[in-house]
């Protein structure tokens, strides 16, 4: 059974054309590739740190 009051909460106002810039700036642009590169770089730094300690 559809309950109007519950369903209406699922509808949100649309952004107007003047608000395009805000929509772009507010997008979260981080992707999995960024995460991977970050992880790899941290791992590399960590490995270099261990090598320095051994020497």
Partner 1 sequence: MNYKMRCYNCGAHLTEQDFCTNCGVDVKGYKHIVMASNRMYNDGLEKAGVRDLSGAIVSLRECLRLNKNHVDARNLLGLVYFETGEVVAALSEWVISKNIRPNKNMADTYINMVQENQSRLEQINKTIRNYNQALANCQQDGKDMAIIQLKKVLAVNPNFLRARQLLALLYMDAQNYEMAERELKKCLKTDNGSLLTKRYLQETDNMLRPKELAGQDVPEKKAEDSDTIRYINPNHDLVIQPAHIKEPKATGSVFNVLLGIAIGVAAAFFLILPARIQAVREETNAELIAVNEQAADKAAQLDELSVQVAELSQKNKELSSQLEQYAGTDGNLELAEKLLTAAQMYLATPDEEGLRTIGRNLMDIQEGADVSTLSDSFQNLFRTLMAVAGPQISDLHYNEGYAAFQEGDFTTAIDSYTQAVFFDATDVETLYQLGNAYRKNDDTENAKKIYQQVIELFPNTDRATRSQQYLNQLG
* Shortest distance, position 45 Cβ to partner 1, whole Å: 14
- At closest approach, how far in Å is the CB of 55 from partner 1? 22
Q: In this structure, is the dihedral angle defined by the CA atoms of residues 43, 49, 53 and 55, taken in order, positive or negative? A: positive
Subset of residues 1 to 55 that bind partner 1, contact rule: CB under 8 A? 1-2, 4, 7-8, 10-20, 23-24, 27, 29-34, 36-37, 40
Could you tell me the two tokens for 22?
A: 């805000």
Q: How far is CA 17 from CA 23, 25, 26, 28, 29, in A?
A: 10, 14, 15, 20, 21
Which residues in this chain contact partner 1 in the complex, by CB under 8 A? Answer: 1-2, 4, 7-8, 10-20, 23-24, 27, 29-34, 36-37, 40
């Amino acid at each position: 059974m559809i309950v109007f009051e519950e369903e209406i909460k699922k509808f949100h106002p649309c952004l107007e054309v003047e608000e395009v810039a805000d929509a772009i700036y507010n997008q979260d642009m981080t992707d999995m590739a960024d995460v991977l590169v970050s992880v790899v770089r941290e791992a590399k730094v960590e490995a270099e740190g261990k090598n320095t300690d051994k020497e």
